[in-house]
């Protein structure tokens, strides 16, 4: 049951006035008329009842919120109430008078289908509502409440969630098909197996699974994890307490003693509460798993058996779900591709239980009668009916209605031919062109079907009926609930009709409702929705309604739905006589096994083949029907029987019914097969004269039977026939419901995977954006540091240049000093003046010599200091140039590597996301 419960955090501390009471406790405050509940309940005060209204989609949150807004705004006389919500399986929600505690109304939990609260930030944030099936599921109503204490809404929905979780009459997960009855003894589970291997990076990744051969691809020597997901899909919800054993063994059909326990890592419910997940670790290097740890030859597979033992509260003994899967151990160096859509193996199990005892205020206790998988069921059916072996490869599930793509491409020459024909036809719409039947037998081009069908049905000028349709959809239909129930089952495989509350289902509902009001004698019948859906795929709903009326009245389809179904039985008789003429051996075989035409051909006539067969074939049949009349149904039926003759001759009664239900429709998923079938149907000449003859024969036979048969016997026979037809139709409805549930579950899983992937990509995008911001900040910081370094280098270079100039001036002065000194000294380094003085008069004194020597020493010291300063300045210049070069290299390297790689990764991620979004 769908329950969009908001967070209940903080509701525990709210000022909600609530109290708990049990059925065995009495209260002096209750009046004599106050009912004493038989279950634990939580009572909520300070609530206001805003009213109720009928809804078409009882599980649509959009419609529920819309009605909540309407009732909150239009409520004239709000009613103060106390709400009692049960906490046990067979509980009842009760509305009580807050003054006297008298019960105002009550709603069993199993009839409550949906619960929703108003969105935060809206005027309805203090409101909640629930929908319930009224008058034995014929009407769906929504009840809206307002809480004086807004925080209490979460606590109330939490109580509903608790009741739903243990509801004895829990509906199927899809919410679209009726559940098994509460006293049914069969409980359905889906069990999924997923294997993950250590990828060497500290994480475990899902192993590859061959899509075509349905086998896991393992690698030897790698640690593995096994994930088992158990989900109940029908009947009263059973509570899984714990798993006490996860086992594995190589091979299939293994003994219990050959199974080996794996180490359990975790167990518990999934985040959405719909399934129970068990995780175990698997070391394949242990001796018992040697067979699945050694490389297997290419294109060779081995089997592996996995089992999980569960303790279920309501079941006396543990339940073991056992999965047999194929595996191939690949070489460690083999490159694995991923040609698959799912990485898990899923099997459906049917657990048959028998009630043992029932105690007051306690759950029912069951014992296990049998547990078998879908695969085991199919094996049993195959053993009983060997002919099904041929069709087993085509799958055991029936083909969903609305399956198959229809291409709008058409050869240019064919379009030109049709264009010329339509141009002539529009000039005189009262006369059909002569070449029209031949063209229709080849199939009307998909792009032209909407226009051609309206012309064939004579609905090209239907303004009056369009206006009438707009009036009809405003009226109430007495068969509204039946229409609503069938809408979800019509073309569930087609995108236009699969969404509850979508445009397709809305238009389909209005057409079926309008016809049921328009034709009060026939009203709505199962089968009309399929034909209306076909028409809606090619034209607007007003035109589709007009064509539907034409087909029902002018093509004889309406007569098939009359109360006594006399015309339908006549059609069955005609089909059997045609079989006797065209396929006598198959006719005799059906006589021997007791198979009559109404057992397999009812849907062919009542839905014009639209319910089971692919759209390519369905559209072609409607082409022929509108062009040649309802007798085309006999052509197609005989063609189907003729092409399936050999298979049907090898079947018994049960095998033939199974063959008609599954392999026959699936055979024509191929456009080529469907085309050959329609060519055969068009080539079969069935004269109207012959059909009239068989019709007269049928009526004369019926008159003789009525004359010979007593009224009571006739009524009893007719009653038995109607009961058989009803049982058959109920079985077909159950099959359709099961198909719908399976497809919805698969779509839900795909949607969950897509949402999970989208969340991951969004997180990566946010992280990448943050990295981009960080990298831009880092870039700015580096640029600032680079500018500072350059400025510092420029200052140091300036200083160095000034020092070099100073040193140059010093060196110049030094050189000038040296030149002066060269005058005083000779090549040997002796003073020339001394020599001259000696040569002259030798009048120089010792004092003058000493002065010259001191001057020389000072100049040598000054020269040494100048050289030292020059060397230091050159070293400092080299250090600064080296530092500047390193800084510039770092800046350039950062720009070329880290920043560029960041930008490249951002472009890659955003580009990949764009492709996926596209």
Which CATH number do you get for residue 75? 2.30.29.30
**174 pLDDT above the threshold of 70:** no
Q: Per-residue pLDDT tens for 598-623? A: 888 888 888 888 888 888 899 999 99
Q: What is the pLDDT of residue 648?
A: 92
**913 pLDDT above the threshold of 70:** no
Q: Per-residue pLDDT tens for 279-296? A: 998 888 888 888 888 888
**137 pLDDT above the threshold of 60:** no
Q: What is the pLDDT of residue 229?
A: 93
Q: Which domain holds residue 66?
A: 41-164
What DSSP string runs through 86-139?
E-STT-EEEEE-TTT--EEEEEEGGGEEEEEEPPTTSGGGGEEEEEEEETTTTE
Q: What percent of the chain has pLDDT over 90?
A: 12
Q: Can you tell me whether residue 194 is helix, strand or coil?
A: strand
Q: Per-residue pLDDT tens for 821-840? A: 555 555 555 555 444 444 55
Confirm whether 462 is domain-assigned: yes
Pairwise CA distance, residues 513 & 495, whole Å: 22
Confirm whether 34 is domain-assigned: no
pLDDT, mean of residues 437-462: 88
**171 pLDDT above the threshold of 50:** no
Beta-carbon contacts of 676 under 8 Å, excluding residues fewer than 6 positions away, are: none
Q: What is the pLDDT of residue 183?
A: 41
Q: Tell me which of 418-422, 646-650, 868-872 is least confident.
A: 868-872
Q: Can you tell me whether residue 218 is helix, strand or coil?
A: strand
Confirm whether 403 is domain-assigned: no
635 and 520 in a common domain: no
Pairwise CA distance, residues 625 & 648, whole Å: 27
pLDDT, mean of residues 224-249: 88
pLDDT, mean of residues 480-504: 84
* pLDDT classification of 513: cutoffs 50, 70, 90: very high
Q: What is the pLDDT of residue 520?
A: 87
pLDDT, mean of residues 310-315: 86
- Which range scores top for mean pLDDT: 133-142, 320-329, 802-811, 879-888? 320-329
265 and 225 in a common domain: yes
* pLDDT classification of 166: cutoffs 50, 70, 90: very low
Q: What is the pLDDT of residue 582?
A: 92
* pLDDT classification of 820: cutoffs 50, 70, 90: low
452 and 372 in a common domain: no
* pLDDT classification of 508: cutoffs 50, 70, 90: very high
Residue 270 contacts residue 276 (beta carbons within 8 Å): yes
Mean of pLDDT over the chain? 78
pLDDT, mean of residues 852-870: 81
Choice between 817 and 782, residue whose per-residue pLDDT is larger: 782
888 and 741 in a common domain: yes
563 and 518 in a common domain: no
Q: Can you tell me whether residue 651 is helix, strand or coil?
A: coil
Confirm whether 386 is domain-assigned: no
Q: What is the pLDDT of residue 511?
A: 92
Q: Per-residue pLDDT tens for 564-603? A: 678 888 888 999 999 998 999 999 999 998 888 888 888 8
Q: What is the pLDDT of residue 89?
A: 54
Tally of structural domains, the chain: 5
* pLDDT classification of 517: cutoffs 50, 70, 90: very high
SS (H, E, C) 436-492: HHHHHHCCCCHHHHHHHHHHHHCCCCCHHHHHHHHHHCCCCCCCHHHHHHHHCCCCC
Q: Can you tell me whether residue 693 is helix, strand or coil?
A: helix
Q: Tell me which of 51-60, 257-266, 387-396 is least confident.
A: 387-396
**716 pLDDT above the threshold of 80:** no
Closest CA to 111 of 91, 82, 128, 83: 91
**680 pLDDT above the threshold of 70:** yes
- Which range scores top for mean pLDDT: 165-169, 463-467, 809-813? 463-467
Domain boundary among 379, 394, 424: 379
CATH of the domain at 281: 2.60.40
Q: Tell me which of 39-43, 194-198, 851-855 is least confident.
A: 39-43
Q: Tell me which of 60-74, 238-252, 325-339, 390-404 is least confident.
A: 390-404
Confirm whether 22 is domain-assigned: no
Q: What is the pLDDT of residue 39?
A: 53
**318 pLDDT above the threshold of 70:** yes
CATH of the domain at 501: 1.10.8.270
560 and 550 in a common domain: no
572 and 529 in a common domain: no
How many C-beta atoms lie closer than 10 Å to residue 581's C-beta? 13
Q: Residue with structure tokens 């967070």? A: 7
Q: What is the pLDDT of residue 901?
A: 66
Backbone angles phi, psi at 3, to 5 degrees: -145, 95
572 and 541 in a common domain: no
Q: What is the pLDDT of residue 426?
A: 87
Pairwise CA distance, residues 184 & 238, whole Å: 13
743 and 784 in a common domain: yes
The enclosing H or E element of 82 equals strand 79-86
869 and 800 in a common domain: yes
Farthest-apart Cα atoms in the chain, separation:
185
Confirm whether 439 is domain-assigned: no
- Helix-then-strand count for the chain, H and E: 28, 21
**37 pLDDT above the threshold of 60:** no
Beta-carbon contacts of 45 under 8 Å, excluding residues fewer than 6 positions away, are: 16, 17, 18, 82, 98
Confirm whether 268 is domain-assigned: yes
CATH of the domain at 593: 1.10.472.80
582 and 486 in a common domain: no
Confirm whether 630 is domain-assigned: yes
pTM: 0.42
Q: What is the pLDDT of residue 254?
A: 81
How far apart, in Å, are the Cα atoms of 120 and each of 70, 345, 577? 17, 41, 68
Domain boundary among 360, 379, 398: 379
Domain boundary among 649, 670, 699: 699
Q: What sign has the CA pseudo-torsion 303, 305, 306, 312? A: positive
pLDDT, mean of residues 809-830: 62
Q: Tell me which of 583-587, 650-654, 744-748 is least confident.
A: 744-748
**376 pLDDT above the threshold of 90:** no
785 and 892 in a common domain: yes
Q: What is the pLDDT of residue 244?
A: 78
Q: What is the pLDDT of residue 873?
A: 79
Q: What is the pLDDT of residue 390?
A: 39
């Amino acid at each position: 049951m769908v329950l969009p419960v908001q967070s209940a955090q903080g509701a525990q501390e709210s000022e909600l006035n609530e109290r708990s009471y049990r059925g065995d406790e009495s209260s002096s405050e209750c009046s004599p008329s106050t009912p004493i509940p038989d279950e634990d309940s939580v009572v909520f005060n300070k609530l206001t009842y805003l009213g109720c209204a009928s809804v078409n989609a009882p599980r649509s949150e959009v419609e529920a919120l819309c009605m909540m807004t309407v009732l909150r705004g239009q409520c004239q006389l709000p009613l103060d109430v106390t709400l009692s919500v049960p906490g046990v399986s067979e509980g009842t929600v009760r509305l009580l008078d807050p003054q006297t505690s008298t019960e105002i109304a009550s709603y069993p939990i199993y009839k409550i289908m949906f619960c929703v609260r108003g969105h935060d930030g809206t005027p309805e944030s203090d409101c909640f509502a629930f929908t319930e099936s009224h008058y034995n599921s014929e009407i769906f109503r929504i009840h809206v409440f307002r809480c004086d204490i807004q925080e209490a809404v979460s606590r109330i929905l939490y109580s509903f969630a608790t009741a739903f979780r243990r509801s004895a009459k829990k509906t199927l997960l899809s919410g679209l098909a009726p559940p098994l009855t509460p006293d049914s003894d069969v409980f359905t589970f889906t069990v999924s197996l997923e294997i993950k291997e250590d990828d060497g990076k500290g994480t475990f990744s899902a192993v590859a699974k061959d899509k075509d051969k349905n086998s896991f691809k393992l690698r030897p020597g790698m640690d593995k994890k096994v994930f088992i997901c158990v989900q109940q899909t029908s009947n009263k919800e059973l509570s899984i307490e714990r798993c006490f054993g996860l086992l594995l063994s190589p091979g299939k059909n293994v003994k219990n003693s050959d199974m080996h326990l794996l180490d359990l890592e975790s167990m518990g419910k999934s985040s959405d509460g719909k399934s129970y997940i068990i995780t175990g670790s698997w070391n394949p290097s242990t001796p018992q798993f040697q067979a699945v740890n050694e490389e297997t030859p290419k294109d060779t597979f081995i089997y592996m058996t996995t089992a999980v033992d569960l303790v279920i509260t309501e079941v006396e003994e543990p339940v073991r779900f056992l999965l047999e899967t194929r595996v191939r151990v690949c070489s460690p160096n083999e490159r694995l591709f991923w040609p698959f859509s799912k990485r898990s193996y899923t099997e459906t199990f049917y657990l048959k239980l028998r009630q043992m005892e029932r105690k007051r205020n306690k759950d029912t206790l069951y014992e296990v009668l049998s547990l078998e998988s879908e695969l085991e069921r199919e094996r049993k059916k195959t053993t009983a009916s060997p002919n099904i072996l041929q069709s087993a490869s085509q799958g055991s599930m029936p083909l969903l209605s609305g399956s198959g793509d229809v291409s709008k491409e058409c050869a240019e020459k064919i379009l030109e031919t049709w264009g010329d024909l339509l141009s002539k036809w529009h000039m005189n719409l009262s006369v059909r062109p002569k070449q029209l039947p031949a063209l229709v037998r080849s199939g009307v081009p998909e792009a032209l079907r909407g226009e051609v069908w309206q012309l064939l049905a004579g609905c090209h000028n239907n303004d009056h009926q369009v206006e009438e349709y707009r009036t009809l959809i405003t009226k109430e239909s007495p068969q509204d609930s039946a229409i609503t129930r069938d809408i979800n089952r019509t073309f569930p495989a087609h995108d236009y009709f699969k969404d509850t509350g979508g445009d397709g289902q809305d238009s389909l509902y209005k057409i079926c409702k309008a016809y049921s009001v328009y034709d009060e004698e026939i009203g709505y019948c199962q089968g009309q929705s399929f034909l209306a859906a076909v028409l809606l795929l090619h034209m607007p709903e007003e035109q589709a309604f007009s064509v539907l009326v034409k087909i029902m009245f002018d093509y004889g389809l309406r007569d098939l739905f009359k109360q006594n179904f006399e015309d339908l039985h006549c059609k069955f008789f005609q089909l059997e006589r045609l079989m006797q003429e065209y396929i006598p051996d198959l006719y005799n075989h059906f006589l021997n096994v007791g198979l009559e035409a109404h057992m397999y051909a009812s849907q062919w006539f009542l839905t014009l083949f639209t319910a089971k067969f692919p759209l390519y074939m369905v559209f072609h049949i409607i082409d022929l029907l509108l062009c040649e009349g309802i007798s085309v149904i006999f052509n197609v039926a005989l063609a189907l029987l003729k092409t399936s003759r050999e298979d049907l001759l090898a079947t018994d009664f049960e095998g033939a019914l199974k063959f008609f239900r599954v392999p026959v429709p699936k055979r024509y998923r191929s456009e080529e097969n469907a085309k050959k079938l329609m060519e055969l149907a068009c080539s079969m000449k069935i004269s109207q004269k012959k059909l009239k003859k068989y019709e007269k024969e049928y009526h004369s036979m019926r008159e003789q039977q009525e004359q010979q048969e007593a009224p009571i016997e006739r009524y009893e026979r007719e009653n038995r026939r109607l009961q058989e037809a009803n049982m058959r139709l109920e079985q077909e409805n159950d099959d359709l419901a099961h198909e719908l549930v399976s497809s919805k579950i698969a779509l839900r899983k795909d949607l969950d995977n897509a949402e999970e992937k989208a969340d991951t990509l969004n997180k990566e995008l946010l992280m990448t954006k943050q990295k981009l911001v960080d990298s831009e900040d880092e870039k700015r910081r580096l640029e600032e540091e680079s500018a500072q370094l350059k400025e510092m280098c420029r200052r140091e270079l300036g200083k160095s240049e000034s020092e070099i100039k100073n040193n140059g001036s010093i060196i110049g002065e030094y050189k000038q000093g040296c030149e002066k000194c060269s005058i005083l000294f000779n090549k040997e380094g002796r003073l020339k003046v001394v020599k001259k003085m000696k040569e002259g008069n030798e009048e120089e004194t010792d004092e003058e010599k000493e002065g010259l020597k001191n001057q020389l020493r000072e100049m040598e010291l000054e020269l040494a200091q100048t050289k030292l300063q020059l060397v230091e300045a050159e070293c400092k210049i080299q250090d600064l140039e080296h530092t500047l070069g390193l800084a510039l290299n770092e800046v350039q390297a950062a720009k070329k590597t880290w920043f560029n790689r960041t930008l490249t990764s951002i472009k890659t991620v955003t580009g990949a996301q764009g492709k996926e979004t596209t």
